[in-house]
Amino acid sequence: MTAELPSTADLRVFVLVAQQASFTQAALRLQVPRSTVSTSISRLEKQLGARLLQRTTRRVVLTSEGQELLGRSERLLEEFEELATLFSTSHQQLSGLLRVDMPLGMAAGVVMAALPEFMARHPALQIDVCSTDRRVDVIADGFDCVVRAGSVVDESLACRPIGQMPLVNVVSRSYVAAHGVPEKLDDLAMHWLIHYMPNPSSTPMGFEYEEGGVTRSVPMAHRVTVNNSAAYSAACRAGFGLAQIPLATAAPDLETGLLVEVMTRHVPAPMPINLLYPHRRNVPARVRQFGDWLSERLGNLLS
């Protein structure tokens, strides 16, 4: 007698529980009762004859069998998704859950404002947007893709270039009133720079500018250090010193006069924007189409 095979629905529940390390969070994501998730996992464990998860009072931990099943399930579900969309057009409606991480400033700015348009195209799709400036682990943290600014250092991930984001040097109007305007590199010794350190191990780079295709740096004094892009822009608006931020972020405050562009002959190199995702033979349709939409929405902001 042939053993009953696990359903793809139960495997999807298992993967989500494993990613969230919580039955409750998985139930919230799926918008079903927690008992439904528990039943699905129990059925899966019974069919496979193995304990997949260790439940504690605070979290859920994978057993060794669960670790093995997770990797195989993710690959199997990707194959099923590719099969389901094999003969569809490139604009088919998406469904399921898309988990994406991106810089805080980008998410809070242009992406979140435009996201209703993307969701309207795909009403059956759910999206989790994680907004931090630290570098998450795409695979271990269960993301479908991440948007990263800056050079790509993780060769284990596939990379889709989105564009180059121009940067500008800015200070607040109140800073100008108190300290004047730096006009040349020698002037920087008399000014303050806001330090941006998204990771505790980061090293402040000083005032950066591009010259002849080479990035150079000038050390500057600082009074304030921040660890995310939103606080970085806010610190600049509050008058704590000079900041080097994306032109798209600075544009509204430059128009109102709250910020002033300075050192226009010594601007940083444009910042690469890339969409990164795990190496796969078949990239999920939700990742492909999100990348297409992101390129479309950011196109007029990037070079």
Check residue 86 and give its pLDDT: 55
The answer to whether position 205 is within a domain reads: yes
- Verify that 15 and 74 share a domain, yes or no: yes
Closest CA to 279 of 157, 141, 132: 157
- Verify that 146 and 184 share a domain, yes or no: no
Please name every residue paired with 273 in a beta bridge, in sequence order, or none if there are none.
149, 163
The total number of structural domains in the chain stands at 3
- Verify that 107 and 186 share a domain, yes or no: no
pLDDT at 135 over 70: yes
Structure tokens at 151: 């050079």
pLDDT bin (cut points 50, 70, 90) of residue 1 is very low
The answer to whether position 89 is within a domain reads: no
- Verify that 214 and 248 share a domain, yes or no: yes
The answer to whether position 209 is within a domain reads: yes
Structure tokens at 128: 């989790």
pLDDT bin (cut points 50, 70, 90) of residue 166 is very high
The answer to whether position 40 is within a domain reads: yes
More confident residue, 181 or 76: 181
- Verify that 127 and 197 share a domain, yes or no: no
Query: What is the number of other CB atoms lying within 10 angstroms of the CB of residue 131?
Result: 18
| 190-219: average pLDDT | 87
- Verify that 219 and 254 share a domain, yes or no: yes
pLDDT bin (cut points 50, 70, 90) of residue 138 is confident
- Verify that 145 and 229 share a domain, yes or no: no
What are the tens digits of pLDDT across the range 75-115?
Answer: 787 777 666 655 554 556 788 889 999 888 888 878 888 89
Structure tokens at 114: 């435009």
- Verify that 223 and 179 share a domain, yes or no: yes
Looking at 84, 103, 135, which one is the last position of a domain?
Answer: 84
For residues 17 and 53, the answer to whether their CB atoms sit within 8 Å is yes
Share of the chain above pLDDT 90, in %: 36
Check residue 29 and give its pLDDT: 79
The four Cα atoms 190, 196, 199, 202 give a dihedral, to 10 degrees, of -40
Looking at 84, 103, 124, which one is the last position of a domain?
Answer: 84
Domain of residue 102: give its range: 95-158+279-298
Looking at 55, 84, 113, which one is the last position of a domain?
Answer: 84
pLDDT at 282 over 70: no
Check residue 280 and give its pLDDT: 64
| 117-127: average pLDDT | 91
- Verify that 147 and 284 share a domain, yes or no: yes
pLDDT bin (cut points 50, 70, 90) of residue 171 is very high
The answer to whether position 140 is within a domain reads: yes
- Verify that 150 and 292 share a domain, yes or no: yes
The answer to whether position 261 is within a domain reads: yes
Closest CA to 194 of 185, 203, 204: 204
The answer to whether position 303 is within a domain reads: no
Check residue 91 and give its pLDDT: 55
Structure tokens at 103: 């810089």
**CATH number reported for the structural domain that contains residue 22 in this entry:** 1.10.10.10
| 255-268: average pLDDT | 96
pLDDT at 303 over 70: no
The four Cα atoms 231, 233, 239, 242 give a dihedral, to 10 degrees, of 120
- Verify that 102 and 76 share a domain, yes or no: no
The answer to whether position 229 is within a domain reads: yes
Check residue 275 and give its pLDDT: 92
- Verify that 184 and 259 share a domain, yes or no: yes
Which pairs with CB-CB distance under 8 Å and at least 24 residues apart come from 1-9?
Answer: 3/47, 4/47, 5/47, 6/44, 6/47, 6/48, 8/76, 8/77, 8/80, 9/40
Check residue 220 and give its pLDDT: 94
**CATH number reported for the structural domain that contains residue 111 in this entry:** 3.40.190.10
What are the tens digits of pLDDT across the range 11-51?
Answer: 888 988 888 888 888 888 788 898 999 999 999 998 888 89
CA angle 291, 279, 272 (to 5 degrees): 45
More confident residue, 185 or 197: 185
